[in-house]
Structure 1
Amino acid sequence: MEAAQLNALSLWVGLNLLLTLLLALNVVRNRFKAQGDSGDPVTLEKAVRAHGNNTEYVPGILIGLGLMAMTGASAQTINILGGTLFVARILHAYGIQQSKMPNIFGLVGNFGTWLTMLCVVTTLIMNGM
């Protein structure tokens, strides 16, 4: 693995971990609000769903990106897939917490995540054959 690939991978792992941390802090914030009179249990549930959904998809995709980098994927490929994943997860996290469901943010975020996962899965399977 070259330095450019490792740098690209580090960027997207770091940013996606930061997003996961921010979503976790949002759950804590909403949990404290829900204990008082100003909290909304629906808002808390949506925050939990946004965090939980992120943790379902992101770790596996990041591991896949790491394997791709180790097997020779270019830094450009890692950047495209990592960037797509990051933007998709932000859109999905925003969309899932809105009152109107479904909405364009959640849908685009979901499909962007699936598309990224499909690209990673396909590449890994092709590399393994």
Structure 2
Amino acid sequence: MTKLILIRGLPGSGKSTLAQTLSAFHIEADMFFVDDCGLYQYDASRIEEAHLWCQGQAEQQLSLGNDVVVANTFIRRWEMKAYQQMAIRHNAEIEIRVCRGRYANIHGVEQAVIDKMQRRWQD
């Protein structure tokens, strides 16, 4: 049975680091913003497109029978729903992990933004 692992947490909590240790296809919405030269070029106006791209990548890998790990913030419970439905469609086991570490975030998200995300967090 294929497995879909969702890793959620605030920026700098260790999501990407954990995902990289797992034996599964690793995808994040942030990867959408990495250009051909490897530079991260975030564009807030394209965040919905980034998440749809991430879902599409995960769906494609599950359809090939590959295990998938998705590392996104998933601040609100509903943000995981598309992936939960995807797991059902592909008869994949789903596992949700939460990272709560406090490390330097790799994308330079301001502390005020992280604090706002923390206030919106749903367990």
What TM-score comes out, normalization by structure 1 length?
0.24
> Larger relative CO (CA 8 A, sep 6+): 1 or 2?
2
Q: Report the TM-score, using the length of structure 2 for normalisation.
A: 0.25
More helix by share: 1
Greater strand share, 1 or 2? 2
